[in-house]
Chains A and B, each alone.
Chain A
């Protein structure tokens, strides 16, 4: 069970990393994720059913996610629609797109090849762990490589201080577009991986996934503070695994799975409030000791 949770955590962390590239770097709450995640799942599963190799099916999912991101970013940048609303519009529209792709609300991968088959000789769940680690290694090294190019630095600067970035000649709109496209490509990859692990794609598979993605980011930030960018990406993987273990623990404790989403949101809300609580406590002790700050 624990290995299964770790395997799940590894796959879901791709989603977390995807959300991180916009939510934390650009400070964008991009809700397209709830559409691009099941879109990735739908594209990958449909492609596999058409006989396409799982690797290429997963890559197709990435492209589909990037296109979804492109629509969101164009609505936001050219259409001047606020980013949250742009994301909601695309997320909602993607529901129909997914139904169009799959021709039905859900599609099973029963007896079909999956990305994990290459390592099917390994004991249960270990094949998923190995594939998850390989994918993460590729994703994280590519992302890190990108962040330390001139373009990547311009992208980070745009999220850090847009006005300043523009004053040094960085075309911030292009950077935002690139970030949203990139992020949704990663999120769709997460969808494709999770769908292949679950063995099916569902049109409603994206509902609530923002919470899961954010949870891995926030848990990572609460558990490990002051990280460099590369370390931060790795801690999101750990955060994602911790979140899955937490869910496992809660289910083991006998919580009715009906309430799992409520529980997830509650965990996330608490983690989001934690920095404030910490600060208040620290201020309290400082005042108590009469120290300067």
Chain B
């Protein structure tokens, strides 16, 4: 099995006003293999989002090394890492450019990691491809290719964000509670779509979720974060043997139970 992402001794401390430091991530070691679909659980303040920020580079780490396919990332800027690491945010507003149309957003995603040039963007060349792409989702997005994304529903926006994040088949896909802000029904559909895309494109994915049933149902590995450390790391076999009750027990010993 090939290792895609490797975290070694990742720590993150922040200093508050009185100069006392708080540890958000505490010596995290994590090896992610190609094709892994890892669900990440953890209570508030467990460090889930900071873990993602450390991977994407939007937060610098206090110690340790992040590597992607054997290449050290610590000194590489967020914008450069973005060529290989894609992310979908929790807030549907975060994933798209609101005043740009659906097609324009997809075009930006298609050019992920490329240096923007003074050549014409060539939207028309890709228009049919984008249309067929949107048709696969089945929520009418293909009718709205020329509509600014601020006029889309939350579900449409988030499925667009997912489409954009996976368009160029990144080495690592990070999903940060990407269904949490949606209606339950739409959240279920988006989750099915997510699973389908990840399998079709054989992506390597980490997914933070607050929905225990999703954490159990999807993925081949489950990790539980607590106070900045990995408390449990269950492989496919252990995960499939896990019941909801077991999962609740994992949290019961926790002082801050999952919402």
Q: What residues of chain A have their CB less than 8 Å away from a CB belonging to chain B?
A: 146, 148-154, 156-157, 160-161, 163-172
Interface of B is mostly: loop
CB of A156 within 8 A of CB of B117, answer: no
| Least CB separation from B117: chain A residue | A150
Set B80, B83, B96, B120: member contacting A164, Cβ < 8 A: B96
CB of B80 within 8 A of CB of A161, answer: no
Contacts of B116 in A (CB 8 A): 149-151, 153-154, 170
CB of B80 within 8 A of CB of A169, answer: yes
Ranked nearest first, the 9 interchain pairs of A and B with the lowest CB-CB distance are A160-B97, A169-B82, A154-B116, A169-B113, A150-B116, A151-B116, A157-B97, A161-B97, A171-B79
CB pairs A–B below 8 angstroms (16 shown) = A146-B118, A149-B117, A150-B121, A153-B104, A161-B94, A164-B97, A167-B56, A167-B78, A167-B82, A167-B87, A168-B108, A169-B79, A169-B83, A169-B112, A169-B113, A170-B116
Q: B197 within 8 Å of A by Cβ?
A: no
CB of A150 within 8 A of CB of B119, answer: yes
The answer for the CA separation of A152 and B117 in the assembled complex, in Å, is 9
For window 64-114 of chain B, which residues contact chain A by CB distance below 8 Å? 78-80, 82-83, 86-87, 89, 93-100, 104, 107-109, 111-114
| Least CB separation from A168: chain B residue | B112
The answer for the CA separation of A160 and B98 in the assembled complex, in Å, is 6
Q: B58 within 8 Å of A by Cβ?
A: yes
The answer for the CA separation of A252 and B228 in the assembled complex, in Å, is 71
Q: Could you tell me the distance in whole angstroms from the C-beta of A174 to the nearest C-beta in chain B? A: 9
Contacts of B97 in A (CB 8 A): 156-157, 160-161, 164-165
CB of B104 within 8 A of CB of A169, answer: no
- Known contacts A153-B108, A153-B121, A154-B108; decide if A163 and B94 are in contact (CB<8 Å): yes
CB of A161 within 8 A of CB of B96, answer: yes
Total interface residues in chain B, CB < 8 Å: 34
Q: What residues of chain B have their CB less than 8 Å away from a CB belonging to chain A?
A: 56, 58, 78-80, 82-83, 86-87, 89, 93-100, 104, 107-109, 111-114, 116-121, 123, 164
Of A151, A161, A166, A169, which is in contact with the most chain B CB atoms at under 10 Å from its CB? A169
| Least CB separation from A152: chain B residue | B121
Contacts of B120 in A (CB 8 A): 148-149
Contacts of B109 in A (CB 8 A): 168
Contacts of B95 in A (CB 8 A): 164
Q: Could you tell me the distance in whole angstroms from the C-beta of A146 to the nearest C-beta in chain B? A: 7
Contacts of B96 in A (CB 8 A): 161, 164
Of B83, B108, B121, which is in contact with the most chain A CB atoms at under 10 Å from its CB? B108
CB of B82 within 8 A of CB of A150, answer: no
The answer for the CA separation of A167 and B117 in the assembled complex, in Å, is 18
Contacts of A169 in B (CB 8 A): 79-80, 82-83, 112-114
The answer for the CA separation of A168 and B163 in the assembled complex, in Å, is 13
Contacts of B114 in A (CB 8 A): 150, 169
Contacts of A163 in B (CB 8 A): 89, 94
The answer for the CA separation of A165 and B56 in the assembled complex, in Å, is 13
The answer for the CA separation of A150 and B114 in the assembled complex, in Å, is 10
Q: Could you tell me the distance in whole angstroms from the C-beta of B231 to the nearest C-beta in chain A? A: 28
| Least CB separation from B88: chain A residue | A167
| Least CB separation from A155: chain B residue | B116
The answer for the CA separation of A165 and B111 in the assembled complex, in Å, is 11
Q: Could you tell me the distance in whole angstroms from the C-beta of A23 to the nearest C-beta in chain B? A: 14
Contacts of A161 in B (CB 8 A): 93-94, 96-98
Contacts of B107 in A (CB 8 A): 153
| Least CB separation from A153: chain B residue | B121
CB of B117 within 8 A of CB of A151, answer: yes
| Least CB separation from A157: chain B residue | B97
Q: Could you tell me the distance in whole angstroms from the C-beta of B84 to the nearest C-beta in chain A? A: 9
The answer for the CA separation of A150 and B82 in the assembled complex, in Å, is 17
Contacts of B121 in A (CB 8 A): 148-150, 152-153
